[in-house]
């Protein structure tokens, strides 16, 4: 046996044994017993846990797989459940269900935080990346279930935990700049956020200013006589800005 491979196996086995109680709690949550607990261990391991030590990997590859499978499961579920909805309504339902905020909130309710293995570097920040970690681990668990048990096992977990959160009211909402922007950014796994940054005028005639952000980047600002109108205006301007950027990029490619 290759020495490097032998050394890796020596380190991997104690790690699984070391986290046996954590893995058992995860299996209880998932209602599934893993054949290969190393896969489950990876799904729970934050990238910070592998910094400067021999811990075998993190959840990142499983998250990549789980993200695609999760989208497919939810798409099939809403397609079957709502036969009268058109493509736009189905898209709004799917985007809402698999949005980062939805997954993070669900993972928090499932108490997945207590299962995640963080490294010392992340613990030292007060776990400021916890929100994204919760979302990522949920997706990684879907990937792990698929690898170890197959699609039916993963589907059972998703339908039991996430499907009840499908917000049917989203489907009936008319197309608007906020939903259009969310659908556009969701392709890159980004959820736009809005902030009211200024309020002017008397109570009966307020003018609100809002900004929309992608992460920490301000996409645009907008104004309106209600917070909702200000956010709509900001989203519309963000769409215009992104469209102009795309057209400029296309022009550069043609030259």
Question: Among residues 63, 122, 139, 233, which one is catalytic?
Answer: 139
Alpha helices in the chain (DSSP H): 3-18, 20-30, 37-43, 60-81, 87-98, 100-109, 120-123, 130-149, 151-161, 177-186, 227-254
d(CA 74, CA 155): 9
φ, ψ at 187 (rounded to 5°): -65, -25
Q: Can 251 be counted among the known catalytic residues? A: no
Question: Among residues 63, 67, 135, 148, which one is catalytic?
Answer: 67
DSSP 59: S
Q: What is the largest CA-CA distance in the chain?
A: 78
Q: Do residues 196 and 209 make contact, with C-beta atoms less than 8 angstroms apart?
A: yes
Going from the C-alpha of 87 to that of each of 47, 82, 165, 176, 207, the distances in angstroms are 37, 11, 20, 15, 36
d(CA 196, CA 191): 17
In sequence order, the 6+-apart residues with CB closer than 8 A to the CB of 121 are 48, 51
One-character DSSP codes across 180-242: HHHHHHHTTT---EEEEEEEES-GGG-EEEEEEEETTEEEEEEEESSHHHHHHHHHHHHHHHH
Q: Can 122 be counted among the known catalytic residues? A: no
- The catalytic residues are 67, 139
């Amino acid at each position: 046996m290759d020495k490097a491979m032998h050394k890796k196996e020596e380190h991997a086995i104690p790690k699984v044994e070391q986290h046996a109680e954590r893995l058992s709690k995860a299996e209880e949550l998932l209602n599934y017993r893993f054949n290969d607990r190393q896969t489950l261990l990876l799904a729970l391991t934050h990238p910070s846990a592998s910094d400067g030590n021999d811990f075998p990997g993190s959840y990142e590859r499983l998250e990549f797989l789980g993200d695609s499978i999760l989208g497919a499961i939810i798409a099939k579920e809403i397609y079957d459940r709502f036969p009268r909805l058109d493509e736009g309504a189905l898209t709004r339902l799917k985007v809402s269900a698999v949005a980062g905020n939805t997954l993070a909130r669900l993972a928090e309710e499932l108490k997945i935080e207590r299962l995640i293995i963080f490294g010392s570097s992340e613990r030292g920040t007060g776990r400021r990346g916890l929100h994204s970690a919760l979302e990522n681990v949920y997706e990684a668990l879907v990937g792990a279930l698929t690898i170890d048990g197959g699609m039916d096992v993963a589907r059972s977990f998703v339908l039991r935990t996430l499907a009840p959160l499908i917000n049917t009211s989203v489907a009936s909402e008319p197309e608007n700049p906020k939903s259009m922007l969310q659908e556009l950014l969701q392709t890159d796994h980004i959820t736009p956020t809005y902030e009211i940054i200024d309020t002017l005028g008397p109570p009966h005639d307020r003018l609100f200013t809002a900004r929309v952000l992608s992460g920490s980047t301000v996409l645009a600002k907008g104004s309106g006589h209600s917070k909702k109108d200000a956010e709509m205006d900001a989203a519309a301007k963000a769409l215009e800005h992104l469209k102009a950027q795309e057209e400029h990029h296309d022009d550069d490619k043609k030259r």
